[in-house]
Amino acid sequence: MQIKKICCIGAGYVGGPTMAVIADKCPSIHVDVVDINKKRIQKWNSPNLEELPVYEPGLKEIIKRCRNKNLKFSTSIKEKISKADMIFISVNTPTKKKGFGAGKASDLKWVEACARQVALYASGHTIVVEKSTLPVRTAGVIKEILNECEVSPRKSHSNKTFDVLSNPEFLAEGSAINDLITPDRVLIGGDTQIAIETLAKIYQNWVPNEKILRTNLWSSELAKLTSNAFLAQRISSINSISAICEQTGADIREVSKAIGSDSRIGSKFLNSGPGFGGSCFKKDILNIVYLSEYFGLPEVASFWESVVQLNNWQQHRISKLIVRKLFGTLSNKKIVILGFAFKANTNDTRESPAINICKDLLEEGASLVIHDPKVCSEQINFDLKFESTNNFEEQQNKTLIEEGNWIKENDLSDSFKDADAAVFLTEWSEYKNINWDDVYEKMRKPSWIFDARSITNPMEVRNAGLNLWRIGDGL
């Protein structure tokens, strides 16, 4: 089967960059990215490439090359579904907030809505690809909805047929384009060989065939959850050791290097920090927890749940020690938050450790000055649950959290003015070359630097006269 038209439902952090790379690498395929969110689509179509809704290094260059050629962004969901040979479902699947499985299971309402739209509007034979991270056996739900439409007696004139594939995305934000262009592997799960090979053929335009793994549907879905769970587990493991380092005089950077030199362990994902954030890790682990409980495996569930618990603990541990070092009170104290995104090179703040840490500090009455090169004030307001009003000025001091207040500062150097402490929470490269003598002059004394990302040079900070706490630094 030759794919000429692809439609991707969902123009988010996964759908947007993934489709941009497919369009770039496959000039003969027309790619339509559709979304119900008009504002998001407008941003994808903005002539000013700085306004794209997703910030990813290398993305705007691809958009410039392909947009309005073989890559189009629109809200014409029905029309684009009806014309597509292959449909990617790339919509959000957050953790359920209420009902059965609340707090653990994924909310599949958006996926189900997509499947129903595909069932209604698709024509001819369509390959439906799940791209969003989903609980194991979601493909079964999609299949059931689509099959209903294939066999419905009232639709006996219907010429619709479907194949369902699982093709989870392993890109990491901030390096999405690179990850898409040179993936470690592409995973395709399905039960129809022809459909699997049709999708594999698209990837073969730039990915060596030996990197394209073919599995059954359920292995593909479970492998995606497990990959994220393993990565997150490494972070919780190293973060647990950071706390021991601080008590014993060991240094977490030296410990990480020493254990990472063992080729069986490997050196990646051993950076201790304020805990993992991002839309996937917590959600995927909780999915495994839910699945384990559902299948009567409480020991497995509690093993994975502890990874999330340790992550929460690490964030509150950092907030607590900031309060302790600042004499037990943050009232009338100005604290600079350096970085609000969950990692560098992205404007995404979902599950960012900065959210919990800032909330803790606000509860203690702190005045926060938040700096982040990519995250906008509206997003911070949303994340910190400041009351929503149309007047942004008013919003600055109205918070659902009783204490504290915050402002956004765009100038890094100005943010230190009269501050009592600065806390590094995202490893933005601009934070690597700070003039500490200058910072010392600007801050109120005694001044504290809390480096949760190992981004500072400790000698330089201390020589400038500042107090320094570094993650996992027992000295």
Active centre residues (catalytic): 280
Q: Which is nearer to ligand ADP, 32 or 246 (CB)?
A: 32
State which of residues 3, 13, 105, 453 lies at the interface with ligand ADP (CB under 6 A): 13
**Is residue 168 part of the contact set for ligand ADP (CB under 6 A)?**
no
CA distance linking residue 353 with residue 438, whole number of Å: 28
Task: Report the SS3 class of residue 214.
Answer: strand
Q: Which is nearer to ligand ADP, 170 or 424 (CB)?
A: 170
Closest residue by Cα to residue 291 from 92, 137, 115, 110: 137
* Residue range at the interface with ligand ADP (CB under 6 A); choices 106-114, 154-162, 254-262, 356-364: 106-114
Element (H, E) at 439: helix 436-442
Whether the ω angle into residue 446 lies within 30 degrees of 0, i.e. cis, is: yes
Token reading at 136 = 């194991």
> Cα–chain-centroid distance for residue 23?
23
CA distance linking residue 407 with residue 336, whole number of Å: 10
Alpha-carbon torsion (57, 62, 65, 69), positive or negative: negative
Contacts to ligand ADP from residues 244-283, by CB under 6 A = 279
Amino acid sitting at position 28? S
Residue 190 interaction partner, one of ligand UDX, ligand ADP, none, beta carbon < 5-8 Å per kind: none
State which of residues 33, 59, 66, 91 lies at the interface with ligand ADP (CB under 6 A): 91
For residues 447 and 464, the answer to whether their CB atoms sit within 8 Å is no
State which of residues 62, 171, 225, 301 lies at the interface with ligand UDX (CB under 6 A): 171
Contacts to ligand UDX from residues 346-375, by CB under 6 A = none
**Is residue 271 part of the contact set for ligand UDX (CB under 6 A)?**
yes
Q: Which is nearer to ligand ADP, 272 or 279 (CB)?
A: 279
Residue 169 interaction partner, one of ligand UDX, ligand ADP, none, beta carbon < 5-8 Å per kind: ligand UDX
Q: Could you give the dihedral angle defined by the CA atoms of residues 373, 379, 383 and 385, in that order, rounded to the nearest 10 degrees?
A: 130
Residue 170 interaction partner, one of ligand ADP, ligand UDX, none, beta carbon < 5-8 Å per kind: ligand UDX
* Residue range at the interface with ligand ADP (CB under 6 A); choices 5-13, 198-206, 245-253, 313-321: 5-13
Minimum CB separation of residue 18 from ligand UDX in Å reads 11
Residue 113 interaction partner, one of ligand ADP, ligand UDX, none, beta carbon < 5-8 Å per kind: ligand ADP
**Is residue 9 part of the contact set for ligand ADP (CB under 6 A)?**
yes
Q: Which is nearer to ligand ADP, 40 or 333 (CB)?
A: 40
Q: Could you give the dihedral angle defined by the CA atoms of residues 321, 449, 309 and 173, in that order, rounded to the nearest 10 degrees?
A: 170
For residues 176 and 59, the answer to whether their CB atoms sit within 8 Å is yes
CA distance linking residue 176 with residue 181, whole number of Å: 9
- Per 3-state DSSP, the chain is made up of helix, strand and coil in percentages (nearest 5) of 45, 15, 40
Residues in contact with ligand ADP, shown as a per-residue x/- string from 29 to 68 under the rule CB under 6 A: -----xxxx--x----------------------------
Q: Which is nearer to ligand ADP, 11 or 23 (CB)?
A: 11
In 10 A of CB 102, how many CB atoms? 12
Residue 69 Ramachandran class (φ > 0 left, ψ -120 to 50 alpha, else beta): alpha
Q: Which is nearer to ligand UDX, 231 or 250 (CB)?
A: 231
CB nearest ligand UDX: which residue?
Answer: 278
Contacts to ligand UDX from residues 230-249, by CB under 6 A = 231, 235
For residue 407, list its beta bridge partners: 369
Residue 295, CB-side half-sphere exposure with 13 Å CA sphere: 10
CA distance linking residue 419 with residue 330, whole number of Å: 12
* Residue range at the interface with ligand UDX (CB under 6 A); choices 101-109, 264-272, 287-295, 460-468: 264-272
Residue 389, CB-side half-sphere exposure with 13 Å CA sphere: 12
* Residue range at the interface with ligand UDX (CB under 6 A); choices 38-46, 274-282, 312-320, 391-399: 274-282
What is the contact surface with ligand ADP in residues (CB under 6 A)?
9-15, 34-37, 40, 77, 90-92, 110, 113-114, 132, 279
What is the contact surface with ligand UDX in residues (CB under 6 A)?
169-173, 228, 231, 235, 269-271, 273, 276-278, 280-281, 342-343
